[in-house]
């Protein structure tokens, strides 16, 4: 084997190593959310051990209809259960969904996630079709007492972007195709937009975890359900 042939082989091998290193680095840089943990936007201490997780889209009209129902459930159970929100913006059909998630995550960095969460749903019609939704989001940030400059910086940050994508990637892994999608203690459930329907499932889950002896129904008499869309059930397969 000639020295020239060996030299050519060495050059080819070194070239392949260089290409592999370059493409490997590029691939890693395009996966910022790989090391980002799922969001932890939780209300309630779950003293009964029961957790309700919602994958939601701030621009989704069905999520907005369910919003007062979830608020009523939160108030009814208090610390008996935990209610957790995770981002699942349906960007293919909701043009400002990801931007709204950015606003909520930016508010979270100043400790005001649920304050922004509530305003986004309460005012969905005002910003959903806006060409510049940040104007509305900035007004909401001011209303809940956020530092304006920090909010705008966080809103545009990769940290916020990665957090949303971490939630969305997990939702995609679970096979979620529409919002709102609910998980009760890790089990996917379809629930009609009614306080009573939520209570039936939650009470049953609480009863499973209650001590066998002397267990009683932990809930008080039913509260009235919100007036919005009492019987509608989301159809996840339609990607609403």
Is the pLDDT assigned to residue 130 strictly greater than 50? yes
* pLDDT value at residue 26: 33
| Other C-beta atoms lying within 10 Å of the C-beta of residue 154 | 21
* pLDDT value at residue 211: 76
> Is residue 35 domain-resident?
no
Is the pLDDT assigned to residue 44 strictly greater than 80? yes
> Is residue 168 domain-resident?
yes
Instruction: Please answer whether residues 181 and 88 qualify as being in contact, where contact means their C-beta atoms are separated by less than 8 angstroms.
Output: yes
* pLDDT value at residue 212: 58
Spatial distance between the Cα atoms of 56 and 201, rounded to a whole number of angstroms: 19
- Burial profile 159-175: b = 16 or more Cβ within 10 angstroms, e = fewer: ebbbbbbbbbebbeeee
Is the pLDDT assigned to residue 152 strictly greater than 70? yes
Spatial distance between the Cα atoms of 89 and 103, rounded to a whole number of angstroms: 12
> Is residue 152 domain-resident?
yes
> Is residue 6 domain-resident?
no
- Please give the sequence-ordered ranges of beta strands (E in DSSP) within the chain, or none if there are none: 41-43, 50-56, 81-87, 181-184, 187-189
**Count of domains for the chain:** 1
* pLDDT value at residue 41: 98
Is the pLDDT assigned to residue 189 strictly greater than 60? yes
- Which residue in 154, 153, 133, 151 sits closest to 143, CA to CA? 151
Instruction: Please answer whether residues 32 and 161 qualify as being in contact, where contact means their C-beta atoms are separated by less than 8 angstroms.
Output: yes
* pLDDT value at residue 34: 54
Q: What is the pLDDT of residues 109-123, one digit of tens each?
A: 999 999 999 999 999
* pLDDT value at residue 226: 35
> Is residue 86 domain-resident?
yes
Please name the helix (run of DSSP H) or strand (run of DSSP E) that holds residue 93, with its range, or none.
none
- Which residue in 201, 206, 231, 230 sits closest to 217, CA to CA? 206
For residue 223, the domain's CATH number is 3.40.30.10
Q: What is the pLDDT of residues 203-213, one digit of tens each?
A: 999 999 987 54
> Is residue 228 domain-resident?
yes
Work out the pLDDT band at 1, boundaries 50, 70, 90: low
Spatial distance between the Cα atoms of 20 and 14, rounded to a whole number of angstroms: 10
The pTM assigned to this predicted structure is 0.75
Is the pLDDT assigned to residue 240 strictly greater than 60? no
Instruction: Please answer whether residues 179 and 124 qualify as being in contact, where contact means their C-beta atoms are separated by less than 8 angstroms.
Output: no
> Is residue 26 domain-resident?
no
Which residue has better confidence, 198 or 236?
Answer: 198
* pLDDT value at residue 2: 57
Is the pLDDT assigned to residue 106 strictly greater than 80? yes
**Mean pLDDT over each residue of the chain, to the nearest integer:** 83
Range of the domain at 133: 41-238
Contacts of 65-71 with CB under 8 Å at 24 or more apart are: 65/193, 65/228, 65/229, 65/232, 66/180, 66/193, 66/229, 66/234, 67/118, 67/121, 67/122, 68/226, 68/228, 69/193, 69/194, 69/195, 69/198, 69/225, 69/226, 69/228, 70/198, 71/118
Mean pLDDT is lowest, of 13-17, 145-149, 194-198, for 13-17
> Is residue 198 domain-resident?
yes
């Amino acid at each position: 084997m000639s020295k020239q042939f060996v030299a050519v082989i060495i050059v080819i091998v070194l070239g392949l190593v260089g290409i592999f290193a370059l493409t490997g680095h590029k691939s890693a840089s395009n996966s910022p959310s790989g090391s980002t943990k799922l969001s932890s936007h939780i209300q309630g201490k779950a003293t009964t051990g029961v957790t309700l997780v919602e994958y939601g889209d701030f621009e989704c009209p069905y999520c907005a209809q369910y919003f007062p129902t979830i608020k009523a459930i939160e108030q009814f159970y208090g610390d008996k259960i935990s209610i957790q929100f995770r981002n699942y913006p349906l960007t293919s059909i909701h043009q400002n969904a990801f931007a709204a998630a950015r606003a909520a995550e930016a508010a979270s960095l100043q400790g005001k996630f649920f304050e922004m969460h509530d305003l986004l749903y309460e005012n969905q019609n005002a910003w959903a079709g806006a060409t510049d939704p940040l104007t509305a989001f900035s007004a909401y940030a001011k209303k809940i007492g956020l530092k304006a400059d920090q909010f705008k910086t966080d809103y545009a940050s990769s940290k916020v972007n990665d957090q949303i994508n971490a939630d969305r990637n997990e939702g995609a892994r679970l096979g979620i195709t529409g919002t709102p999608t609910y998980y009760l203690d890790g089990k996917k459930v379809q629930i009609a937009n009614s306080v009573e329907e939520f209570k039936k499932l939650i009470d049953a889950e609480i009863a499973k975890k209650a001590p066998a002896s002397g267990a009683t129904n932990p809930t008080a008499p039913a509260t009235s359900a919100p007036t919005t869309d009492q019987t509608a059930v989301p159809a996840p397969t339609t990607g609403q």
